[in-house]
Amino acid sequence: MKTCLQIQQKNAKITAEIMKSLPKFSTRAMRRDFINKYAKHVKTPKSLLRHMYNELTQTESQDENDEQKMLNERVAEILLESDDPQLLLDYRELNGKSVNEKYNIFFNEMGQYFEKQLLPVNERRHGNELYLPLAISVEDLKSQVTKQCPPGTPIPSSETIRLQFMPGNPFQKTALRYTGRFNVKFRVQTRQARLYHPDGRYVATMFRYLKQFCVRFREESLFICLDDKAIVPVGDPGVPISTGVRGHNKVMTPASGPELVAADHDFHVAGLVPSVVLVTEAPSSSNDSFFTGKVYVTTKDKVFQSSHPFRHTTELIRILREHHSSDNVNLEVPILCMMTDGGPDHRVTYESVKASLVQLLMQLDLDMLIAIRTAPNQSWVNPAERCMSILNLALQHVALSREKMSDEMEKKY
């Protein structure tokens, strides 16, 4: 008669034989949760954690791509054929260390470039993080520092330069790649962030249909985009005021040098309102760029020349008659397509805007007039917005003041 121990041994043997034949299942979500759970507490490369997970679960590795497959095979080879644990090294630990001194001359010149400038804090003038307002982009910064370097100096790539700054968000995974060599960061101001609106998708569809229409009737139509730039402040006589371009109005001179001669941008009454008209050249395909064409800019005084739909229409008629008319009266094509932002001077749902569009239709003798507008907080869709950055280049480090008027007009002003 078999004892209880013999029965247990037989059952264990049978169970072991069955386990060998049973397939092992493991989902990618289970492996990802395991790696993310222990990666926060141990300083171990994720490639090693993937190998540990496969050993513990007795599952085969399911690689997401060829690069990960090669990395997993290299880790397994090191663990099986080598007894040196130092071979498993996360090279991100080398960030910030002077391992390669090839670009030291360039980075020293960049540090001196920062010391010469007066770097501000964030847009509310609080905090200990500095911002770089004088270089428009990393490429611009690279070109400026290169001019200060001796001939033959090795110049790093733009990506290498970008990683020498402080990360925009230190809690993101990409922050591990930054070295933090300079206590400076590039950041988009929060006021420039794009906002969501439920009508944005419908406007995008209408814009796509409009571009297809302009491409199909390229010889009979003209596509224009209108937008007003932000008011450019103008100081009183003898008191010039900064133009107020974001990121540049706070830094006008170096830390040591000439004194500030411009007033703060909060103290002004006069101002200029630039109106931009972009007359595009329709491409051969609706998927091509619609930013090729001519740009016309008109300026108005915000005090004596108030902005309203009929003034915009009158300015547009004058521009089209001078540059896109064969008889200086009627438009050279019978169809005019317009795209504007959602401001009160261009909102097509207003009766005043509808009346101004009727005036445009009659004055230019058009057969068809199509006018659409962007959704609220979605003015960046308007192609005319791409012209604003070019205008900002001319307004950087500029202070404006008006001339003195007669005593009577000064009192009314």
- Secondary structure string (H, E, C) spanning 360-397: HHHHCCCCEEEEEECCCCCHHHCHHHHHHHHHHHHHCC
What type of residue sits at position 281? E
What type of residue sits at position 284? S
Region for 349 from its dihedrals, namely left if φ exceeds 0, alpha if ψ lies in -120 to 50, beta otherwise: alpha
Q: Are strands 221-228 and 270-280 parallel, antiparallel or unpaired?
A: antiparallel
- Residue pair 121/127 in contact by the 8 Å Cβ criterion: yes
Residue 134, pLDDT above cutoff 70: no
Beta bridge partners of 339: 225, 372
- Determine the distance from the C-alpha atom of residue 278 to the mean position of all C-alpha atoms in its chain, rounded to a whole number: 22
Secondary structure (3-state) at 87: helix
Of residues 79 and 151, more confidence is placed in 151
Whole-number Å distance between alpha carbons of 346 and 329: 23
Whole-number Å distance between alpha carbons of 407 and 133: 40
Whole-number Å distance between alpha carbons of 245 and 136: 12
How many residues in total does the chain contain? 413
Residue 368, pLDDT above cutoff 90: yes
DSSP-assigned states of every residue in 329-345: SS-SSSEEEEEE-SSTT
Task: Write down the pLDDT at residue 251.
Answer: 41
Report the largest interatomic distance among the alpha carbons of the chain, rounded to a whole angstrom: 126
Read off the pLDDT band of 76 (50, 70, 90). Answer: low
pLDDT, average across residues 319-339:
90
- Residue pair 371/338 in contact by the 8 Å Cβ criterion: yes
**Positive/negative CA dihedral, 359, 362, 366, 367:** positive
Average of per-residue pLDDT values in the chain:
76
Using one digit for the tens of pLDDT, what is the confidence trace for 137-184?
788 888 888 988 888 888 888 888 888 887 777 777 777 778 878 877
Least confident of 52-66, 102-116, 266-280: 52-66
Residue 119, pLDDT above cutoff 70: no
Q: Cα separations (Å) of 86 from 38, 136, 316?
A: 20, 43, 71
Provide, rounded to the nearest whole percent, the portion of the chain with pLDDT above 90: 13
Axis-axis angle for helices 46-57, 66-81 (nearest 10): 70
The Cβ of residue 67 has, within 10 Å, a number of other Cβ atoms equal to 9
